[in-house]
């Protein structure tokens, strides 16, 4: 699955366009490497998102195309 879509589905970022802009600005890392919005995300990847001076790290537990709001927390494990 594309990184920008995963960020939206997992609720790490609220909107896909915002996720796209964050990737373009170099604020999203996969396994400590800058990632484009089109990068492929798979289970076991480590995602780091920088919001200003705050940093959110999460491990991808599962990848699904659609998920209900209650189940979104199961897609990632926060570190």
Report the sign of the C-alpha dihedral through residues 21, 27, 31, 32, in that order.
positive
- Which stretches does DSSP call E strand in 15-75? 28-30, 33-34, 46-51, 54-60
Mean pLDDT, range 54-69, rounded to an integer: 93
Q: What is the pLDDT of residue 63?
A: 94
pLDDT mean across residues, the chain:
94
Q: What percent of the chain has pLDDT over 90?
A: 89
Q: Residue 42 — very low, low, confident or very high, per pLDDT cuts 50/70/90?
A: very high
d(CA 55, CA 63): 22
Q: What is the pLDDT of residue 60?
A: 96
Q: Residue 38 — very low, low, confident or very high, per pLDDT cuts 50/70/90?
A: very high
């Amino acid at each position: 699955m594309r990184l920008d879509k995963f960020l939206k589905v997992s609720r790490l970022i609220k909107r896909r366009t915002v996720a796209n802009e964050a990737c373009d600005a170099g604020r999203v890392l996969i396994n400590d490497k800058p990632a484009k919005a089109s990068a492929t995300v798979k289970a076991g990847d480590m995602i780091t998102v920088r919001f200003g001076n705050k940093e959110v790290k999460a491990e991808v537990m599962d990848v699904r195309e659609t998920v209900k709001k209650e189940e979104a927390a199961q897609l990632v494990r926060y570190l």
